[in-house]
Structure 1
Amino acid sequence: SATLRIELSRPSSSEFTFDERVNRSHCSVSVTNMSQQSLAALVIAYSILKRRRKSEQKRSCWVKPWIMQQSEFSACSMLAKELRIEDPLQFRNFVRMSSQQLQLMVELLGPIIGKKDTKFRTAISVHDRVMVTLRFLASGDSYNSLQYLFRIPTCTIGSKGTIVQKYEVFPDTREEWQRHAEAFNVQWNFPHCLGALDGKHIVIQAPANGGSHYFNYKGTHSIVLLGVANANYQFTYIDVRCNGRVSDGGVFQNCSLYDLLENGSASLPDHEPLPGRNMPVPHFFVADDAFAIRSYILKPYPFRDQPAPNRIFNYKLSRARRIVENAFGIMANKFRVLRKPINLSADITANIVLAVCALHNFLLSTRDSRENYLTPGVADSEHPETHEIIPGNWREDSTSGNSFFSLERGKRDNYTTSQRDVREEFKEYFMTPSGEVAWQYRHIV
C-alpha cells in the first residue's frame, strides 16, 4: 500500500519571533510506493502549504521612503516651481513649453491619464505625470535617471501611457486641402502643393528574438517615421508602423496615406490650371528620390547637368521640400529623445514618436506658443534681399545622425507621359511672369 506523509514543522513559539518562525518553517515529505492519485494529492497539498507560508510573510514596505516624499522634494515640487517663478525661460527649456501651456496640457490630459488615490497610497498627480513625460521627451534621459529626479519609480514612468491629445490636422475635405495648397503658394511660391513628404529612421534597441525584422540599411535596428508637413512645419500626416527592414522605397506603400491616395478617397482638390495657364494639373506632394513616382508626387529632374529652366524647377521644388526637413530637424532639436537610440520596444518607441509629433503640432498651434517654440535661428531662414539660405541651428547638431536619419534614396524610375507633361507644365509656369520670382535666377548659376 502507498504511504503519504506531509509534515509542516515549526520552531516553538517561545524560541523565535513570528517572522523568524515563518522563515524557519519547512515542509517534510516522504513517499513510499506512491500511486498517481497520491502524487497528485502531494502536489496540491504542497502548493497549499507554500501559499500559506507566503501569505504569512509581511511585506517590509509598500513604497520606498524616499519615493514617499515625492510631493515635497521632487523636481516637480522644488526645481520646476522655482524655475516657474524665477526663470520662466529656463522653465521652458526644462519641459519645452511655458507654464501656461503646461497647465493647458494638464487640463487636456487629466481625464485620460488621471488616477485615483487608494487607501494604500496617494496617486501621482496629472501635473507630475505630464512633467516627467515632457522631461523624458525633452532630454531622452533613462527611466532610472528620471526616477531619482522626480521620485517616481521606473515602473510608473514606464507605464505612463502616451500623452497624445489628438492634435491631428489631417485634412479630410477638399476645402482643407485647398487651404494648405494656398499657404504653400503664398509662403513658398509653389502652387498646388499639398505638403512636403519625407521619412526618418528612428533607432531602437534590437528586439529579443526579432531577427532582422527591424534591421535597416545602416546596420542598426529601427522603425520608420513617415510624415507630411504643411507650409507652417506642422505634420498633417504621420505614420510609424513600418519597420526598418522594409526597403525605403516601399515605406510609403505600407502606410495608410498611400491607400487613400491610390483609391481616390483622400478628397484631394480637382485638377485646375495654374495661374495664367490652360492645362489642368493635379495637386500633389513634393518629395525626393526616396519615393517612387506617382501622379500625386512631384520630384525634381535627375542629375546636375540640366538646362536653366529645369534647374529653376528643381530650385523651387527643393525650396518647398525643405519644409519637411526643417519640421523633422526642429522636432529633434527640441525633443532630444529622438537624438539617441531609444532602448525600448518598437511599440513603446512608436508611442513616444507619436507623442513627440503631437507636441510639435501643439506647440505650433497658436501664435504665442509658436514664437516660444520656433526660437530665432532654429529653422532655416532666407536673407531678406538675396534669399540665400541661412542654415538652421538644428543642422549643426551631429549627434542625431546615427539615431535619426533619412531614408535611403531609391533607384531612379521612369515617368509616364502624363507625369512628364505635368512636370513640364510647372517648369514652364515658373518661367512666366505669374510663376517666377525675381531671385530664382541667382540660384542656378
Structure 2
Amino acid sequence: MTYLAEKTSIGFPWAAFVALSLGMIVFGLAESYGPLSALTEVIPSNLAWLGFTLPYLFGGIGALLAGYIADALGRKLAFILSSGLVLLGMILYLPVWLNFVSGVARTITLLVSIAIVGMAAIGLESPVLAMISESVNSQYRSKLLVIGPNFGNLGVALAYVPLLIFGINSAIAASANYELALILMYVAPTIGLILAWLKASETLPWRAVKKQSNVEDAWKKIDNTTETVNPNAGLGLRFLTLILIGIVQDVAFVYITYGASFAYFSNVAAYVPLIGGFTMTIVGVVAGLLVTSKVSRKVFSLMSYGMLAVFWALLWVVGSVTKSSFAILSMFTLLMVPVELTWASRALLEPELFPTNRRGLYVSLVRFVVWVSSAIIAGLLILIPLPFAIGAASMFIIALIGVGGTLIWYYKGFETGNKNLLGLDLEKTARSIAPVKVSDPKDN
C-alpha cells in the first residue's frame, strides 16, 4: 500500500506544548507535595510513609480516568479536566495552610488533598503523551516526548530551591520549600489550563478516528516520514514490556529521590531532590535534543536500563564502604542520569505502541499498574527498616528485571523510532502489515 505525501502540514503547536509542559511541572510538584509534607513533618511522623505512597496509589487511578477521557472526549479536554482537578485538590488544602483545622481533621484534610492532587497530576501525563505523539512529525516526536515530560523533573527541583538560599538546616528553608511548592501548584495548572483552553487544538488523528474519517490523511498532514511502524508484536508483549520497565523505573525514581536518602542518609536527604531534579532536567534535554532521534528505541532502552543496574551496584558498594556526604551525594547524582534516561525510554515507547483509538486508555492501563505497583514496592522498601546493603541490593535486582524487559523487547518487539505511527491505526484492519512507503514526488 502506498500513498502520496502531501505538501500541506500543520504548524508546530507551540502554545499546546507550553501548556503541556506546565502540566508536567505540576506533575513534578505533585510528586514532591506528599514527600515534602512528610520531610517537613506537616504529616505526623508515624504517617510519613503515606506522603511517599498516596500520590502514586491515587495517581494510578487518575491515570486510568484521564486515559479513558482522552480517548472518549479528546486529549485536550482530558488535560483541562486533570488540570482543574489539581486546583480542586489544592483548594482543599487551603484550610490546612491557613490553620483553619487542627488535629485529626487537619491530617485527614491534608491526606485527601495529597491524594486528589496526585490522582490529577499523574493523570496529566497520559493526555500529554498522546497529544505530543499525535501532533508532530517523527523527528519532533523523538525530541518532544522526552523534553515535554522532562519538565516534571524541573517541578521536583523547583520545590527545593529555597535550600540554595537559606541552607539545608534552616527552619526558614523547610517552610519556604513547602510554601514555594504550594504556590507553584496553584499558578502552573491555572496558566496551563487557560493556555490549553484558548490555544491548544485537538489532534488530527484522534478527530479522524472519532469521526471515522480517513486516518491516513490525518497522519500525512502531521508526518510525511516515508516508513511507518510495523506492529508485528501482540498487545500482550507490549503491555508486559511497558509494565516491567515502568515499575523498575518508577521504583528507582521514588526510592533514589526520596526513600533511600530519607531512610539512610538524612544528612543529604533534602539535597537529593534538588540536585536530582536539575540533573535529570539537564540529562533529559540533552538526550531529547541530541540522542533520541538518532538511536533506535530498542538500543536506547537497553542502554538506559543497563546503566541503571550498573549505577545501583556502584551506589551499593560506595554506600557500604563510606559515610562521606560528598561521596554519597555524588553517587545519588550519578544515579539520576540512568533514572532520567529510563524515564525517557518509557515516555518514547508508551504512546508509540498503541493505536489512536485506544492510545490514552492503554497508556493509562500501563501507568495504573505501574504507579500502584511502584507505590507498594517503594512503600515497603521505605517502611521496613532494612539495612542499606539489603535495600541497595534489592534495587539492583529490580534494575536487572528492567534489563530483562528491554532484552525481551529488543528481540521480540518492533521498532518505532523515526517512523510514522499510521501503521498502528492500520493494524485494526490488518494484524500484520508490511512497512508503508510514501512515494517521493521526485520519483514521478
Q: Quickly name the TM-score band, shorter chain normalised.
A: under 0.3
Q: Who wins on radius of gyration, i.e. which is larger?
A: 1
More helix by share: 2
Structure scoring higher RCO (CA < 8 A, sep ≥ 6) equals 2
After TM superposition, the score normalised by the length of structure 2 is 0.25
